[in-house]
């Protein structure tokens, strides 16, 4: 079984990215044939600064490797290093109905806000379909709000297969990520870059503590008992603490006499310790830029080899000749 997932390099990873997605799909590398790509072509729809995109892409690779992605088990590559994906995108575009793309959430959101989406955003789902179909992907881990992407991919693949009378494209299946892993941000809303309420995974110590101390809490007096389950600080603490540590802090909440500052300090200490090994791994990879590039290029070669196999199958179905090497 082949699992495929991509991450857009649009900024540093935050706790919501990690616990809501990255941690879960990196775990799949131990059980499945895993392809992970950094979606730099997709990022061009929002990042229009070349130097910034290069930095974001490099940071994404460093962060993934630091957080446990093992290049000896999984294939990690830049999307743009596999040119077959854009050729497949064009072949898929020729059978994709505009009405299908007009139903996609990102496009509809732009329209509803009175904005003028560009062609990149409009055809974004077809590039996403090409990403998935190029590798005969079996499983695509997604959040519940991203299932439409897989449905669109399956629709496009089925239409292509029906048009050309064969099973040329393999239909993927969505694996929905743990819905419980919705992480609150500094303001209590879902942690998201768009809400400006994130805590980065690799935040430096002082900024990390400052952010944690700014987490929104209620005005319950220090001496009064508090409900841990209604507190965003405790919700975040549970991500890092053992069952015993959670029980101990919950008891402190309920007995009263504890201010939220104490809970925030415990959260800071737990979070800093949790990512200690990852920070060390990241520093080691950052000091070896040649090795980092080798990982990405090696991954691209493996991905391209599989992609060429699928693309030749699709080209033949369309009546196109073999690709020039």
Q: For residues 48 and 157, what is the distance between their CA atoms, to the nearest angstrom?
A: 31
174: phi then psi, degrees, rounded to nearest 5: -80, 140
Residue 17 marked in a binding site: yes
Residue 261 marked in a binding site: no
Q: Are 69 and 155 in contact (CB under 8 A)?
A: no
Which residue among the candidates 110, 182, 216, 316 is catalytic per the annotation?
Answer: 110
Residue 145 marked in a binding site: yes
Residue 322 marked in a binding site: no
Residue 194 marked in a binding site: yes
What secondary structure letter does DSSP report for 14? Answer: B
Q: For residues 120 and 180, what is the distance between their CA atoms, to the nearest angstrom?
A: 32
206 is catalytic: no
110 is catalytic: yes
Indicate the SS3 state at residue 67.
Answer: coil
Q: For residues 315 and 94, what is the distance between their CA atoms, to the nearest angstrom?
A: 13
Give the number of other CB atoms < 10 A from CB of residue 80.
Answer: 19
Which residue among the candidates 103, 182, 190, 316 is catalytic per the annotation?
Answer: 190
Q: For residues 47 and 60, what is the distance between their CA atoms, to the nearest angstrom?
A: 14
Residue 190 marked in a binding site: yes
Residue 26 marked in a binding site: no
Which residue among the candidates 103, 182, 193, 216 is catalytic per the annotation?
Answer: 193
Residue 183 marked in a binding site: yes
Q: For residues 71 and 132, what is the distance between their CA atoms, to the nearest angstrom?
A: 20
Residue 16 marked in a binding site: yes
Residue 192 marked in a binding site: yes
Task: Enumerate the known binding-site residues.
Answer: 8-10, 16-17, 131, 143-145, 183, 190-194
Task: Enumerate the known binding-site residues for L-tryptophan.
Answer: 131
Q: Name the residues annotated as catalytic.
A: 110, 190, 193
Task: Enumerate the known binding-site residues for ATP.
Answer: 8-10, 16-17, 143-145, 183, 190-194
């Amino acid at each position: 079984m082949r699992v495929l997932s991509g991450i857009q390099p649009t900024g540093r990873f935050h706790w919501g990215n990690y616990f809501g997605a990255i941690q879960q799909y990196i775990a799949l590398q131990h059980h499945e044939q895993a392809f992970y790509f950094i979606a730099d072509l997709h990022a061009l729809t929002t990042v229009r600064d070349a130097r910034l995109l290069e930095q974001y892409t490099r940071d994404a690779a460093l962060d993934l490797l630091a957080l446990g992605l093992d290049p000896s088990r999984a294939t990690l590559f830049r999307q743009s290093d596999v040119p077959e994906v854009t050729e497949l995108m064009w072949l898929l575009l020729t059978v994709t109905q505009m009405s299908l793309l007009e139903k996609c959430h990102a496009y509809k959101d732009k329209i509803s806000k009175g904005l003028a989406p560009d062609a990149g955003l409009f055809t974004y789902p077809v590039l996403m379909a090409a990403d998935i179909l190029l590798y005969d992907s079996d499983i695509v881990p997604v959040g519940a709000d991203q299932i439409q992407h897989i449905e669109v991919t399956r629709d496009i693949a089925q239409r292509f297969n029906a048009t050309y009378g064969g099973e040329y494209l393999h239909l993927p299946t969505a694996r929905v990520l743990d819905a419980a892993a919705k992480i609150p941000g500094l303001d209590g809303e879902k942690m998201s870059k768009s809400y400006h309420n994130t805590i980065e995974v690799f935040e430096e110590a002082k900024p990390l503590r400052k952010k944690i101390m700014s987490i929104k809490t209620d005005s319950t007096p220090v001496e009064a008992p508090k409900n841990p389950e209604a507190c965003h600080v405790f919700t975040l603490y549970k991500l890092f603490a053992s069952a015993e540590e959670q029980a101990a802090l919950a008891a402190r909440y309920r007995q009263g006499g504890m201010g939220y500052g104490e809970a925030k300090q415990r959260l800071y200490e737990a979070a800093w310790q949790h990512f200690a090994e990852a920070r060390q791994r990241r520093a080691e990879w950052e000091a070896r830029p040649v090795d980092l590039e080798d990982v990405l290029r090696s991954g691209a070669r493996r991905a391209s080899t599989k992609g060429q196999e699928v693309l030749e199958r699709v080209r033949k179905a369309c009546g196109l000749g073999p690709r020039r090497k």
